[in-house]
């Protein structure tokens, strides 16, 4: 976390702060769990929170640091989830839990990264809102394709089809692995809070190191002015691809973590459609666009709010939408920003993250 | 960044509030929880489940409870998402739930069953119809399973020689619909009719059905099988009428509810057949009383989800009474006791006379109904 | 051949509805420079208003349509004032986009609480026996003919309004450069309010037409057609009003033909794949203007 002259810069200090903050929260929550202070509701939310936080880190790399709008990021998470769950289902009996899960996570990341790379080739030629639409389109295509994908296994090996279960011609004792719209059921429960935290930490360190490196500065220069960056010899497309692919890999990790936390994995519109992609975007924007720490905090807060509002019963989602609108206005309205700066945070040091002004 | 500080503080406060775990306390009531989608596109089904159960709970409590013990009842929203369904389950567990009625939908029910299995809690899903929902021995269901419905429909169409050429329009992105379609297709091979058209729609393109209907029309099918929920049926029937499609429509329990949609043109549904265990228009006293109470409380006619969950609560009552279980038993002991009794009881419910097998499947007879002059009548 | 033409007509029917929605979408985008993700939900509210007036209150159809248009107009202006205007100086178009999502959730959940989750069957504005027109072997829906005609009229009216009136010129000025526009004495807030009023009024019309063609009305009715119409607007070149019309019709035809001749399960994927190809060939859509970028 040091720059080339060997001294801690303000940016490095801030990044270190993010990592320490995460470690402290993890230690505190783990201690509380060990002491039996955490109820099942919150306990059950810990892995999902890690999933969303990782997605926030991943999308922040594309939106906040690379400066391109993606509204199809749930598609990468979907690919990671299905690829890893597919592997775990295949090897559920033949491998131990630890190596299996490790390989499943790597497969989830690799497959999602591969698709990120493939999709990046055409997508990153476009700019602005058009790029956003194409990412949305890719997310929807991925979801649609997974819903018609059937894979079964019997003594003769694996069978694939996009026609339906019947077309597989499975033997009677055959087993469905991916069953079209019914998805994958019975993925082993390997995800734990500790694994989730480690994945989150790895993602954060990768992204923070990237932004602090030569490549990262090139990527941010593309964000700030693409044409100027190109004119000083920065290979724009290559760096865009780099950031996009890394982001997809991280989303794949999140997908693997998600898939191994639930017994039923279905590519529903609400889970892997544009709605979810936009939710991830909410994390990034509410967190301040470009600030990894902000995105993580926003992900945690926005995951907890609807859960803690459960007592409101049928009014829960209505209140949640109002809170979302109000938070956005308070956080982004120039007047309220100035007011908060003057009255609340004015006396604190103005500690900025790497690319916080986005 | 100022926002982040505020958010950090809010977060810490939220965690502190959320983490306070409440010590378990046994009192003289049975605590029953229910889970379903109460917001989002599937809210209709979840609301049916939680409201249907509420009617049954109120009736039982008014009549003196289960063997003298009152029922405490609480429900949670899962937004049709497996992860949220598990969150809902955990919330109910913190409330010391002893028995779960839910989840409403198959995917959610499967996800939650992993948790109830781990806790050995008795789970009775009113409407989780996919095969895997009852994979574990602590999970039973009230509704028919999807394979069961698909097969029964194909057999019924074959036995009654309703058609030679059949078209299918189903929701390929839905667990319920694709599950029924699959077994219907498999069983059709053994029956005397041919599947001439098999067309899908998805949750993302369920506005227009003209292309699917056009294919059925071009192929000249006599019957169109609709293993879908009634929410899309209105549009399909309207478009079919406009396009002059003359086939008979045949559906499963998901189609019930169609006639009770606000402002539904009942002429469109003339001659539609369905194989369902429950219709809200049935004449028997039990159904009438339930429908009356439901309409009074919620202003709408109950659908099959409501009927299934109403039956679920009465099933739990019957099983508890059969087992002689008491509220002070542990969750796991209660589960074992109810499980054993489930195989012995015979339920006279809204959705038929039901008995259960050890694999959690109900045995009951679907009734074939046909809509004549805007009302359900028994088909011969 | 007969069935091909039937499919083509069905595609144009669906496309005409997308087109009507897309016109409102693209207009708001072109002038206010924001993706109003709540547009689809304003359509849904419009349909509920029309339903309440026509079916619940039993008033004439014309009154229902008028109520839907006015109701949506007021709603649009309020949403803009309360939720979008405070973020105008925020310097990030993303912030407004997220707020639009919040508004979308808000409208859906409000409708859910007021009207319930059970779908309602919309009474088409055309009496049932006149709903199809038969010419020889072909038949098409009256409502789609109406939609296409209404769409063309709206395009002409809007183009005339924007190019020929002072208000319209103000809109163009705001679309080009808000700062310069306000220096020229144009009220930016007023102009954007007007844009939302017109865009939302068109959402009201779209709601009535959508539910007349496809009568199932639930709190989530507007969401998917809204997204599809957004795609249609991009197809045609977002910001271009004739482009939205063309994009909408094309999208409908592609959707129906891919369902009919390729795969009904994969039609979503095919529609989006075509969109991607179009954008790669013509990165600003079919009728969008190419803007020269400067450093």
pLDDT category of residue B18 using cuts at 50, 70 and 90: very low
Q: What is the pTM of this model?
A: 0.90
Take residue B1 and report the two structure tokens written for it.
């960044």
Residue owning tokens 């209505």: A318
- CA separation (Å) from A89 to A86, A186, A263, A265, A301? 5, 8, 11, 12, 33
Q: What confidence score (pLDDT) does residue C293 get?
A: 54
> CA torsion, points C105, C106, C108, C113, in degrees to nearest 10?
130
User: pLDDT digits over A13-51, tens only?
Assistant: 888 889 999 999 999 999 999 998 899 999 999 999 999
Task: List chains touching C (3+ CB pairs under 8 A).
Answer: A, B
Distance CA A331, CA A324 (A): 10
Average pLDDT over residues C99-128: 90
Say if C254 falls within a structural domain: no
Q: What confidence score (pLDDT) does residue C211 get?
A: 92
pLDDT category of residue A352 using cuts at 50, 70 and 90: very low
Q: What confidence score (pLDDT) does residue B369 get?
A: 87
CA–chain centroid gap for A226, Å, is: 25
User: pLDDT digits over A52-89, tens only?
Assistant: 999 999 999 999 999 888 989 999 999 999 999 999 99
Q: Which of C109, C266, C274, C275 to mutate to test the interface with A (most CBs of A within 10 A)?
A: C109
Which of A261, A266, A352 has the CB atom closest to B107's CB atom? Answer: A266
- CA separation (Å) from A256 to A82, A109, A182, A250, B111? 8, 8, 18, 10, 16
Please check the confidence at residue C141 and state whether its pLDDT lies above 90.
no
User: pLDDT digits over A154-208, tens only?
Assistant: 888 888 888 777 778 787 778 888 888 888 988 888 999 999 999 999 999 999 9
Say if C295 falls within a structural domain: no
Q: Which segments of chain B belong to CATH 3.40.50.2300?
A: 28-144+287-363, 147-276
* Cβ of residue C55 closer than 8 Å to a chain B Cβ: yes
ipTM for the predicted complex comes to 0.90
Residue C265 to residue B172, Cβ atoms within 8 A = yes
- CA separation (Å) from A328 to A56, A129, A337, B288, C97? 17, 21, 11, 50, 10
Q: Which of A185, A186, A311, A336 to mutate to test the interface with B (most CBs of B within 10 A)?
A: A185
* Cβ of residue C38 closer than 8 Å to a chain A Cβ: no
Q: How far is A135 from chain C (nearest CA, A)?
A: 9
Domain count of chain C? 1
Q: Which of B83, B93, B95 to mutate to test the interface with A (most CBs of A within 10 A)?
A: B83
Q: Which residues of A touch C115 (CB under 8 A)?
A: none
Residue C90 to residue A122, Cβ atoms within 8 A = no
Say if C49 falls within a structural domain: yes
To the nearest whole number, what is the mean pLDDT of chain B? 88
Residue C92 to residue A285, Cβ atoms within 8 A = yes
Which of A130, A145, A274 has the CB atom closest to C279's CB atom? Answer: A130
Q: How far is A155 from chain B (nearest CA, A)?
A: 21
Distance CA A191, CA A204 (A): 19
Q: What confidence score (pLDDT) does residue B9 get?
A: 58
Distance CA C255, CA C271 (A): 6
- CA separation (Å) from C111 to B86, B316, B329, C42, C217? 27, 35, 43, 11, 11
Q: How many alpha carbons fall within 13 Å on the CB side of residue B352?
A: 20
B:C CB pairs within 8 Å:
107
Distance CA B175, CA B42 (A): 13
Please check the confidence at residue A314 and state whether its pLDDT lies above 70.
yes
Say if C277 falls within a structural domain: no
Distance CA A221, CA C188 (A): 32
Q: How far is C59 from chain A (nearest CA, A)?
A: 31
Q: Which CATH architecture has domain B147-276?
A: 3-Layer(aba) Sandwich (3.40)
Which of A144, A145, A333 has the CB atom closest to C86's CB atom? Answer: A333
3-state secondary structure of B349: strand
Task: List chains touching A (3+ CB pairs under 8 A).
Answer: B, C
Other Cβ atoms less than 10 A from the Cβ of C59: the count is 14
Q: What confidence score (pLDDT) does residue B380 get?
A: 65
Please check the confidence at residue A346 and state whether its pLDDT lies above 60.
no
* B189 → chain A, closest CA residue: A166
* C18 → chain B, closest CA residue: B207
Sequence-distant (≥ 6) Cβ neighbours of residue A150 within 8 angstroms:
A160, A161, A162, A163, A164, A165, A167, A168, A176, A178, A179, A180
pLDDT category of residue B316 using cuts at 50, 70 and 90: very high
* C274 → chain A, closest CA residue: A137
Distance CA B206, CA B237 (A): 13
Sequence-distant (≥ 6) Cβ neighbours of residue B184 within 8 angstroms:
B150, B151, B153, B154, B168, B225, B227
Q: B368, B146, B179: which is closest to B279 by C-alpha?
A: B368
3-state secondary structure of C44: helix
Which of C95, C265, C276 has the CB atom closest to A332's CB atom? Answer: C95
3-state secondary structure of B376: strand
Q: How far is A323 from chain C (nearest CA, A)?
A: 9
* Cβ of residue C280 closer than 8 Å to a chain A Cβ: yes
Interface of B with C (CB under 8 A): 39-41, 43-44, 47, 172, 199-202, 204-208, 210-212, 214-215, 218, 231-232, 234-235, 238-239, 242-244, 257, 260-265, 299-300, 303
Domains, in order of start, for chain A: 11-33+41-308 (1.10.3470)
Distance CA B2, CA A351 (A): 10
Please check the confidence at residue B350 and state whether its pLDDT lies above 80.
yes
Q: Which residues of B touch C131 (CB under 8 A)?
A: 242
Please check the confidence at residue A279 and state whether its pLDDT lies above 70.
yes
Q: Are A90 and A244 within 8 A, CB to CB?
A: no
Residue predicted with more confidence, C2 or C237: C237
Q: A34, A20, A22, A59: which is closest to A281 by C-alpha?
A: A59
pLDDT category of residue B26 using cuts at 50, 70 and 90: very low
Which of C87, C105, C238 has the CB atom closest to A329's CB atom? Answer: C87
* Cβ of residue A24 closer than 8 Å to a chain C Cβ: no
pLDDT above 90 covers what percent of chain A? 49
Q: Which residues of A touch C90 (CB under 8 A)?
A: 332-334
* C105 → chain A, closest CA residue: A321
3-state secondary structure of C62: helix
Take residue B55 and report the two structure tokens written for it.
């009617």
Q: What confidence score (pLDDT) does residue C176 get?
A: 84
Q: Which residues of C touch A182 (CB under 8 A)?
A: none
Structural domain span for residue C170: 2-229
Q: Which residues of A touch C35 (CB under 8 A)?
A: 129
Residue C264 to residue B264, Cβ atoms within 8 A = no
Say if C262 falls within a structural domain: no
pLDDT above 70 covers what percent of chain C? 97
Say if C118 falls within a structural domain: yes
To the nearest whole number, what is the mean pLDDT of chain A? 87
Please check the confidence at residue A1 and state whether its pLDDT lies above 50.
no
β-pair partners for B352? B349
Q: What confidence score (pLDDT) does residue A13 get?
A: 80
Which of B40, B199, B303 has the CB atom closest to C264's CB atom? Answer: B199
Which of B205, B235, B242 has the CB atom closest to C132's CB atom? Answer: B242
Q: Which residues of B touch A186 (CB under 8 A)?
A: 132, 135
Q: C185, C162, C184, C195: which is closest to C88 by C-alpha?
A: C195
Q: Which residues of C touch B260 (CB under 8 A)?
A: 118
Q: Judge: domain B28-144+287-363, CATH 3.40.50.1820.
A: no
* Cβ of residue C60 closer than 8 Å to a chain A Cβ: no
Which of A37, A264, A340 has the CB atom closest to B111's CB atom? Answer: A264
Residue B212 to residue C259, Cβ atoms within 8 A = yes
Q: What confidence score (pLDDT) does residue C134 get?
A: 79
């Amino acid at each position: 976390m040091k720059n080339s002259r060997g001294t801690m810069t303000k940016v490095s200090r801030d990044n270190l702060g993010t990592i320490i903050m995460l470690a402290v929260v993890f230690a505190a929550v783990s201690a509380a769990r060990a002491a039996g202070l955490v109820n099942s509701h919150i306990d059950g939310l810990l892995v999902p929170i890690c999933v969303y936080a990782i997605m926030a880190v991943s999308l922040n790399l594309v939106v906040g640091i690379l400066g391109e709008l993606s509204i199809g990021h749930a598609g990468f998470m979907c690919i990671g989830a299905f690829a890893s769950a597919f592997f775990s289902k295949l090897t559920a009996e033949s491998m131990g839990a630890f190596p299996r899960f490790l390989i499943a996570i790597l497969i989830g990341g690799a497959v999602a990264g591969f698709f990120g790379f493939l999709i990046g080739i055409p997508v990153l030629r476009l700019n602005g809102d058009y790029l956003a639409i194409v990412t949305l389109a890719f997310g929807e295509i991925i979801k649609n394709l997974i819903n018609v994908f059937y894979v079964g296994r019997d003594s003769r090996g694996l069978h694939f089809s996009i026609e339906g279960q019947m077309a597989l011609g499975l033997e009677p004792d055959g087993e469905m692995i991916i069953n079209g719209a019914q998805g994958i059921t019975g993925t082993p429960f390997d995800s734990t809070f500790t694994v989730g935290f480690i994945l989150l930490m790895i993602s954060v360190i990768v992204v923070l190191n990237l932004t602090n490196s030569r490549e990262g500065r090139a990527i941010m220069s593309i964000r700030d002015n693409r044409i100027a960056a190109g004119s000083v010899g920065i290979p724009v497309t290559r760096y865009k691809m780099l950031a996009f692919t890394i982001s997809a890999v991280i989303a794949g990790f999140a997908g693997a973590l998600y898939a191994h936390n639930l017994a039923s994995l279905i590519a529903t519109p609400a889970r892997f459609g544009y709605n979810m992609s936009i939710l991830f975007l909410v994390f990034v924007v509410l967190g301040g666009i470009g600030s990894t720490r902000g995105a993580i905090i926003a992900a945690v807060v926005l995951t907890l709010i609807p859960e803690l509002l459960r007592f409101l019963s049928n009014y829960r989602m209505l209140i949640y939408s109002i809170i979302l609108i109000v938070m956005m206005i308070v956080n982004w309205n120039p007047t309220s920003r100035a007011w908060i700066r003057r009255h609340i945070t004015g006396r604190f040091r103005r500690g900025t993250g790497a690319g916080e002004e986005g | 960044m100022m926002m982040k500080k505020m958010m950090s503080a809010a977060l810490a406060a939220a965690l502190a509030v959320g983490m306070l775990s409440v010590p378990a306390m046994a009192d003289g009531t049975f605590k029953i929880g229910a889970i379903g989608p109460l917001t989002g596109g599937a809210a209709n089904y979840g609301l049916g489940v939680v409201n249907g159960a509420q009617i049954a709970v109120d009736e039982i409590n008014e009549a003196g409870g289960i063997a003298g013990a009152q029922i405490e009842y609480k429900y949670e929203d899962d937004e049709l998402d497996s992860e949220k369904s598990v969150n809902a389950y955990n919330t109910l567990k913190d409330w010391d739930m002893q028995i779960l009625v839910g989840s409403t939908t198959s995917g959610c029910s499967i996800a939650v069953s992993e948790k109830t299995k781990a806790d050995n809690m008795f789970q009775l899903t009113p409407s989780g119809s996919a095969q895997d929902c009852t994979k574990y021995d602590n999970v039973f269901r009230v509704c028919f399973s999807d394979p069961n419905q698909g097969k029964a429909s194909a057999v019924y169409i074959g036995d009654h020689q309703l058609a030679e050429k059949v078209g299918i329009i189903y929701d390929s992105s839905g667990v319920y619909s694709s599950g029924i379609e699959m077994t219907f297709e498999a069983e059709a091979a053994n029956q005397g009719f041919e599947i001439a058209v098999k067309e899908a729609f998805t949750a993302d393109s369920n506005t227009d059905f003209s292309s699917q209907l056009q294919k059925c029309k071009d192929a000249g099918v006599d019957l169109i099988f609709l293993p879908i929920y009634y929410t899309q049926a209105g549009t399909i029937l309207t478009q079919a009428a406009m396009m002059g499609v003359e086939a008979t429509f045949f559906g499963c329990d998901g189609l019930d509810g169609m006639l009770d949609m606000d402002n539904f043109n009942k002429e469109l549904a003339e001659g539609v057949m369905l194989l369902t265990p429950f219709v809200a228009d049935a004449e028997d006293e039990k159904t009438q009383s339930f429908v009356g109470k439901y309409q009074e409380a919620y202003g709408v006619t109950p659908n099959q989800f409501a009927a299934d969950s109403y039956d679920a609560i009465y099933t739990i009552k019957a099983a508890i009474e059969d087992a002689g279980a008491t509220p002070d038993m542990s969750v796991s002991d209660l589960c074992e006791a109810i499980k054993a009794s489930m195989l012995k009881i015979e339920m006279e419910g809204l959705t038929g006379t039901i008995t259960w097998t050890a694999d959690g499947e109900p045995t009951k007879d679907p009734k074939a109904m046909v809509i004549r002059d805007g009302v359900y009548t028994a088909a011969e | 051949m007969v069935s091909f033409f039937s499919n083509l007509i069905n595609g144009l029917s669906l496309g005409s509805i997308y087109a009507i929605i897309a016109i409102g979408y693209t207009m708001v985008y072109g002038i206010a420079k924001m993706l109003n993700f709540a547009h689809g939900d304003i359509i849904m509210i419009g349909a509920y208003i029309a339903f309440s007036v026509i079916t619940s209150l039993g008033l004439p159809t014309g009154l229902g349509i008028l109520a839907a248009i006015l109701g949506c107009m007021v709603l649009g202006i309020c949403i803009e004032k309360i939720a979008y205007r405070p973020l105008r100086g925020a310097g990030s178009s993303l912030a407004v986009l997220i707020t639009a999502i919040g508004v979308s959730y808000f409208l859906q959940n409000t409708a859910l609480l007021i009207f319930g989750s059970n779908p309602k069957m919309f009474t088409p504005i055309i009496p049932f026996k006149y709903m199809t027109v038969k010419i020889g072997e072909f038949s098409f829906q009256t409502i789609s003919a109406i939609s296409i005609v209404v769409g063309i009229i709206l395009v002409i009216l809007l183009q005339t309004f924007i190019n020929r009136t002072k208000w319209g010129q103000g809109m163009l000025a705001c679309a080009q450069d808000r700062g310069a526009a306000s220096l020229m004495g144009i009220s930016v807030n007023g102009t954007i309010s007007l844009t939302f009023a017109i865009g939302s009024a068109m959402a009201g019309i779209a709601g009535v037409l959508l539910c007349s063609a496809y009568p199932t009305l639930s709190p989530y009715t507007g969401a998917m057609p809204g997204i599809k119409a957004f795609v249609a607007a991009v197809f045609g070149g977002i910001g271009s009003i004739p482009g939205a019309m063309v994009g909408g019709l094309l999208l409908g035809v592609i959707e129906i033909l891919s369902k009919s001749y390729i795969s009904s399960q994969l039609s979503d994927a095919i529609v989006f794949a075509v969109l991607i190809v179009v954008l790669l060939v013509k990165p600003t859509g079919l009728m969008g203007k190419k803007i020269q970028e400067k450093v």
